């Protein structure tokens, strides 16, 4: 199989997770003068049914924030979770932007990654427009934000050996934590995702070789930090390498779900659960079982999960799987290209970002049965990249 054809998949998916698409579409300053254009009359009459027997905790949310991109321009849109009414292209943003909701502050954050190098805070009371924006250092390529209090948050940056600690609402720098000890041979540990759970901050380190096409090295790992002090408590080596998906705490498994893609075109990765005490539990789903490179996964019940992966034929599929025995249940979508991006869970529903060029949008599935609830993708403007729910 052609390495470069697999790299198309790598670049397509990692542009949503890690790398960025270009260096010259930057967030110019920490201002709030972004151009806004609200469209409220999108067609959203798809039939939905939010009743579900899934045994995961019910999330109370009213709005989904969607980041969208065509790799030259980015935007944000919102979808009401009850009516599915869309406000498309609320703001034009950096082309490589992702979102993260924080329950501590009740705020939605945008992370403007490579070439943007900034964090934005959205104002949910004013239509989810930007209320504050701050730089996290030019060229640093921020990836995520984990908030532990209204005054302290952690920002992993792919282009830096230092984990940045800031005030999440103002961006005032508190300290920098040197992670160079955990770097691979290229000198960078490549921190890509972070999440705070019960006072512990988990920082996912890719540890890929930037001098060799970002290839995986001997291992990838997760650092556990004391959220209050920033002290590194331990490093946990993962079962697989090259963690590329969105790290999430999941109450069904009572741990973090990590998507470890490994080498592209080699079925050496899988989906792993990391307990909150730092125990790596091994794969609950393998790429060998899927037959391709895993991109994202969530678990909605003890016997039900959803995963997106790419096939050797350069397609993407959404499947359901059983986390108890690692078997694949059903294929729900098969795209004609590298079109299916990332997943979101809300109140018995799995939302899927479908970037199919002819009809991009959000598709919704029943989390208990896998039955699609949308008759057609919900148009959110540009092709969707990430889905974040207000909780």
- Cα–Cα distance for residue pair 12/1, rounded to 1 Å: 18
- Cα–Cα distance for residue pair 27/153, rounded to 1 Å: 21
Name the band, by pLDDT with cuts 50, 70 and 90, for residue 61: low
224-230 mean pLDDT: 98
Q: Answer yes or no: is pLDDT of 317 > 80.
A: yes
For residue 178, the SS3 value is strand
Residue 348: name the closest of 92, 55, 83 by CA. Answer: 55
Q: Answer yes or no: is pLDDT of 315 > 90.
A: yes
Q: Answer yes or no: is pLDDT of 32 > 50.
A: no
Burial 351-389 (b: 16+ CB within 10 A, else e): bbbbbbeeebbbbbbbbbebebbbeebbbbbbbbbbbbb
Q: Answer yes or no: is pLDDT of 87 > 70.
A: yes
Domain spans of the chain, in order of start:
1-30+106-237
- Cα–Cα distance for residue pair 142/113, rounded to 1 Å: 5
pLDDT by residue (tens digit) across 157-191? 999 999 999 999 999 999 999 999 999 999 999 99
Q: Compute the radius of gyration of the chain from its Cα atoms.
A: 19
- Cα–Cα distance for residue pair 238/245, rounded to 1 Å: 14
Residue 361: name the closest of 385, 337, 345, 333 by CA. Answer: 385
pLDDT by residue (tens digit) across 127-144? 999 999 999 999 999 999
Does domain 1-30+106-237 fall into CATH 3.40.50.300? no
Q: Supply 180's token pair.
A: 């160079």
Please tell me the number of Cα atoms within 13 Å of 299 on its side-chain side.
Answer: 26
Q: Supply 205's token pair.
A: 């380190």
Burial of 325 (0-12, 13-18, 19+ CB in 10 A): exposed
Cα angle 39-44-45, degrees, rounded to a multiple of 5? 145
Say if residues 198 and 270 touch (Cβ distance below 8 Å).
Answer: no
Say if residues 145 and 155 touch (Cβ distance below 8 Å).
Answer: yes
105-115 mean pLDDT: 97
CB under 8 Å to 277, separation ≥6 — which residues?
none
Computed from CA positions of residues 176, 179, 185, 191, in that sequence, does the dihedral angle turn out positive or negative?
negative
Integer angstrom CA distances of residue 327 from 111, 195, 250, 320, 324: 35, 28, 20, 9, 8
pLDDT by residue (tens digit) across 260-293? 999 999 999 999 999 999 999 999 999 999 999 9
Select, from the ranges 9-18, 20-29, 61-70, the one with the highest average predicted confidence (pLDDT): 61-70
Predicted local confidence at residue 24, as pLDDT: 40
Q: Answer yes or no: is pLDDT of 147 > 70.
A: yes
Helix, strand, coil shares of the chain, percent, nearest 5, are 5, 45, 45
290-309 mean pLDDT: 98
Integer angstrom CA distances of residue 314 from 1, 19, 96, 243, 262: 11, 20, 23, 20, 17
343-359 mean pLDDT: 97
302-325 mean pLDDT: 97
pTM over 0.75: yes
Computed from CA positions of residues 21, 23, 24, 27, in that sequence, does the dihedral angle turn out positive or negative?
positive
- Mean pLDDT, the chain, rounded, equals 88
- With a pLDDT cut of 90, the percent of the chain lying above it is 83
- Cα–Cα distance for residue pair 322/306, rounded to 1 Å: 9
Predicted local confidence at residue 38, as pLDDT: 37
């Amino acid at each position: 199989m052609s390495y470069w054809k697999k790299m198309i998949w790598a670049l397509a998916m990692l542009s949503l997770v890690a790398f960025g698409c270009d260096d010259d579409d930057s967030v110019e300053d920490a201002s709030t003068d972004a151009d806004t254009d609200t469209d409220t009359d999108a067609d959203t009459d798809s039939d939905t049914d939010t009743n579900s027997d899934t045994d995961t905790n019910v999330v109370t949310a009213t709005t989904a924030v969607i980041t969208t991109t065509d790799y030259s321009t980015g935007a944000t849109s919102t979808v009401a979770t009850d009516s599915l009414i869309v406000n498309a292209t609320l703001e034009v943003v950096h082309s490589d932007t992702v979102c993260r909701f924080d329950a501590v502050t009740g705020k939605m954050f945008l992370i403007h990654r490579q070439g943007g190098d900034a964090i934005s805070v959205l104002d949910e009371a004013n239509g989810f427009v930007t209320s504050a924006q701050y730089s996290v250092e030019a060229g640093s390529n921020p990836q995520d934000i984990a908030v532990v209090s209204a005054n302290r948050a952690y920002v992993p940056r792919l282009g830096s050996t230092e984990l940045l600690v800031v005030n999440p609402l103002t961006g005032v720098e508190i300290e920098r934590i040197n992670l160079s000890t955990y770097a691979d041979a290229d000198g960078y540990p490549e921190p890509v995702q972070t999440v705070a759970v019960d006072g512990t901050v988990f920082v996912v380190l890719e540890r890929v070789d930037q001098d060799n096409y970002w290839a995986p090295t001997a291992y990838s790992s997760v650092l556990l930090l004391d959220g209050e002090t920033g002290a590194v408590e331990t490093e946990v080596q993962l079962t697989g390498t090259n963690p590329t998906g969105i790290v999430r705490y999941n109450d069904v498994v009572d741990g973090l779900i990590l998507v470890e893609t490994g080498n592209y075109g080699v079925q050496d990765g899988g989906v792993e659960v990391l307990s909150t005490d730092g125990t790596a539990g091994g794969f609950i789903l393998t790429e060998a079982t899927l037959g391709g490179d895993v991109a994202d996964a969530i678990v909605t019940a003890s016997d039900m999960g959803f995963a997106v992966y790419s096939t050797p034929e350069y397609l993407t599929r959404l499947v359901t799987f059983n986390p108890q025995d690692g078997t694949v249940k059903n294929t729900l979508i098969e795209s004609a290209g590298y079109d299916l991006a990332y997943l979101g869970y809300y109140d018995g529903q799995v939302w899927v970002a479908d970037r199919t060029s002819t009809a991009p949008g959000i598709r919704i599935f029943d989390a208990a049965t896998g039955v699609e609830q949308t008759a057609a993708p919900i148009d959110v403007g540009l092709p969707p990249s990430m889905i974040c729910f207000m909780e």
